[in-house]
Every structure is written in C-alpha cells, then in structure tokens.
Amino acid sequence: MDQARASDGRPAPPAPAGPATWTSVARNSALECLLAFALLLTVITIVRWTVGPSPVSAAIPYPHMKLLVIGACVGPLLVGLILSPAGKASGGHMNPAISPAMWRFGVFSGVALVPYIVAQLAGSLLGVLAGRAVWGRAASRPPVSDAALQPGPGWSAGALFVAETASMAVIVLLVGLFLSVPRPAPLVPWLVGLLISMAIPLLGTTTGGSVNPARQFGPAIASGQLGFLRVYLLAPMVGAVAATSLHNRFLKRRTVRTYRLCGTDRADPPPVRPVDRVEAFEGVGLLVVAVHRPSGRLRPRIGPVVHVAVRRLSRRWTPRRPLPL
C-alpha cells in the first residue's frame, strides 16, 4: 500500500509513533493520569467557587455569565497542561477520544491506546476525589455536585449523542488540520483552549459541553449521576473516529505529523551542541578581555591569559561525543 501511494505521487502514511515500548507506555500513561487528575481537580475548584456558595458566585447572578467565567478559566488551563513538561512528554491528550483519533491518524501506537484511556479515566476519578477532600461538602452537594454535567431540559439521549458527536468531530478535524501543517502546528494548544472556552458557554445549558469522556467520568461516578454517562463516554469517541475517517479520505495529502498536542515531534527541545558551549565560554573570555582594564604593566597581558584559560576550561568541560538525542 505504501509503494502504491508513493508511485501515485502521494505521501506515504506516517509510521506509528508515540510510546511503543512497555516502559514508555507505562511512563506516559502515568503522565496522562496525572494530567487528567490536575484537570479535574482544577475544574472542580473553578466550579465550586463559580457556581457554589461563594462571593464569586454571588457577584455573578446569571448562569450564562458563570459559564463564560468557567470557560475563560478552563481554556488557559488546558493550554498550560498541554504545554507542561508532562503534556509534552505524553502528548497532552487528557481525553479518551483524542488518543483513538491520533491512532486513526497513524501517528500513535495502538499498544498505548488502552493504557492511555484507562489512565485518563482513572485520573478523572482521582481528581474528583481529591476535590472532595480539598473542598469538603461544598464540592459534593448541589449546585456543584462534583462538577457533573447534565443536558438541558427536553434533551433525549439520542439528541445528546448527536450533539456530542458533532462537537467532537469538529474539534478533531481542526486539530488534525493544524497538526498536518508545520507553521500552525504549535498553535494547537491555543486552538484547543479556544474551542473548549467557546464550547462551555455555548453548550453548557444544552448538552453540558463535555466533549471529553474523562471530563464526565469521574464526576458522574462520584456523584451517582449515571443517567447519560454512556452517551458522554461513547459520543465523543464516535465523533473522533468519524472525523479521522473524513480527514483520511478527503485530505490524504495533509498527513498528521505528530500525536503531541503541543505540535512538535519532540517532547523536549534539542540539547545544546558542544560547539555552542565552546562558543559561549569563548564569549565569556572576550567579555573579560573587553572589561578587564588593570593599570600598570600587566594591562596588555591579563586579557589574553584569561581568554586562553577560559578556552581551555571550555574544552575540558565540554563532552567530546555528541549528546544523545
């Protein structure tokens, strides 16, 4: 199949990337659990002070205004988690619908799919339990109710399924388009934050604005509101798979380059080359030459001596072999 595509002039599909060994799968899954934990703990904190009894809630009497405040807080939170060291290392998915989408795009190993999803759901539940421990009864009682989501009055399970599927499909399509072009790829964290910031006030009073199974799993389990849980779990995954199918069918030339939502192929910036360190030490020596102006006979000799000494020290401290990538 790869050879056929190459003969037609189309780019070959990318090789599966992401965590492939059991060590990397375990490490990155633990990071995804930590990210989901931080996400849900912070979300419960935001909802507790914005919706629950507090001076902030009293100052914002209208529900739509409260949703705007929540969206304005959750969006930057997602950007920060994706761009954090843990988010760059694991990919910063925090969403059991994003991981299958990256697998369908061909940039994520299927070995890590189930561990990622389990870790994200576990982190969601642990984050809710931590929120209860921090905020006590104010987090578990209405109107907070562990930040569990419910659709608006008159919404059936079928209508909710369609709305959640379509919302997640739009997000995955946009993320896939951005990740397939080098320049917009680093903007994906900001794109995700903006889309979620808009989805919360626009869909909060209708569908609940979840578009993330991990966002609803922990709160629903902890609060016992299990009525629409299966819809909130399955609909985003169906939307993600449908979006990747559309992308792979109609946008074949725009292959997704990485599974990391930070938009780069590497978790960390490349290490400094030894030559850069040598140049840096030489720069220090030149600076000493320019600044050091003692009086007397030693004036023309001290500068070059310091420069040579710094140069030798730089060569001694700099490793001869290139740093491992």
pLDDT digits (tens, 9 = 90+) for 6-26: 444 444 444 456 777 889 999
> Which pLDDT belongs to residue 7?
42
- For residue 4, pLDDT beyond 60: no
Name which residue leads in pLDDT, 289 or 209.
Answer: 209
Residue 322, both tokens:
């290139």
Name which residue leads in pLDDT, 282 or 197.
Answer: 197
Distances 7 to 2, 15, 95, 180, 247 between C-alpha atoms, Å: 9, 18, 37, 21, 21
> Which pLDDT belongs to residue 265?
76
- Ranges 8-17, 135-144, 237-246: which has the least confidence: 8-17
Name which residue leads in pLDDT, 275 or 86.
Answer: 86
Give Cα 41 distance to the centre of its chain: 16
Cα–Cα distance for residue pair 203/209, rounded to 1 Å: 5
Q: Label residue 324 exposed, middle or buried (CB < 10 Å: 0-12, 13-18, 19+).
A: exposed
**Confidence label for 61 from pLDDT (cuts 50, 70 and 90):** confident
Tell me which DSSP letter residue 4 carries.
H
Cα–Cα distance for residue pair 73/78, rounded to 1 Å: 9
Residue 16, both tokens:
């599966």
Cα–Cα distance for residue pair 279/284, rounded to 1 Å: 9
- For residue 267, pLDDT beyond 90: no
Report the first-to-last Cα separation within the chain, whole angstroms: 31
Highest-confidence segment of 1-5, 75-79, 274-278: 75-79
Calculate mean pLDDT across residues 104-129: 96
Residue among 15, 42, 17, 43 nearest 28 (CA): 17
Name which residue leads in pLDDT, 136 or 287.
Answer: 136
- For residue 319, pLDDT beyond 50: no
Residue 307, both tokens:
């420069």
Calculate mean pLDDT across residues 296-304: 48
Cα–Cα distance for residue pair 100/50, rounded to 1 Å: 33
Please identify which residue in the block is written with the tokens 């001694």. 316
pTM: 0.78
Cα–Cα distance for residue pair 93/45, rounded to 1 Å: 21
- Ranges 9-13, 73-77, 130-134, 177-181: which has the least confidence: 9-13
Identity of residue 266? R
The average confidence (pLDDT) of the chain is 83
Q: pLDDT (tens digit, 9 = 90+) per residue, 154-206?
A: 999 999 999 999 999 999 999 999 999 999 999 999 999 999 999 999 999 99
- For residue 281, pLDDT beyond 50: no
Name which residue leads in pLDDT, 254 or 147.
Answer: 147
* Overall size of the chain counted in residues: 325
Handedness of CA 206, 209, 212, 214 (dihedral sign): negative
* Percent of the chain residues topping a pLDDT of 70: 76
> Which pLDDT belongs to residue 21?
86
Calculate mean pLDDT across residues 258-285: 60
C-alpha count within 13 angstroms, C-beta hemisphere, residue 42: 16
Residue among 56, 5, 24, 71 nearest 259 (CA): 24
Cα–Cα distance for residue pair 128/123, rounded to 1 Å: 9
Q: Which residues of 264-293 are buried (b: 16+ CB within 10 A; e: fewer)?
A: beeeeeeeeebeeeeeebeebbeebbeeee
> Which pLDDT belongs to residue 17?
65
**Confidence label for 310 from pLDDT (cuts 50, 70 and 90):** very low
Q: Where are the alpha helices (DSSP H) in 91-156?
A: 98-105, 113-135, 137-140
174 C-beta neighbours (distance < 10 Å), count: 17
The alpha carbon torsion through 85, 91, 96, 98 (nearest 10 deg) reads: 140
- For residue 322, pLDDT beyond 50: no
- For residue 270, pLDDT beyond 60: no
> Which pLDDT belongs to residue 275?
40
Cα–Cα distance for residue pair 105/89, rounded to 1 Å: 19
Task: Specify whether the CB–CB gap between 16 and 110 falls below 8 A.
Answer: yes
The alpha carbon torsion through 140, 36, 237, 65 (nearest 10 deg) reads: 60
- For residue 144, pLDDT beyond 50: yes
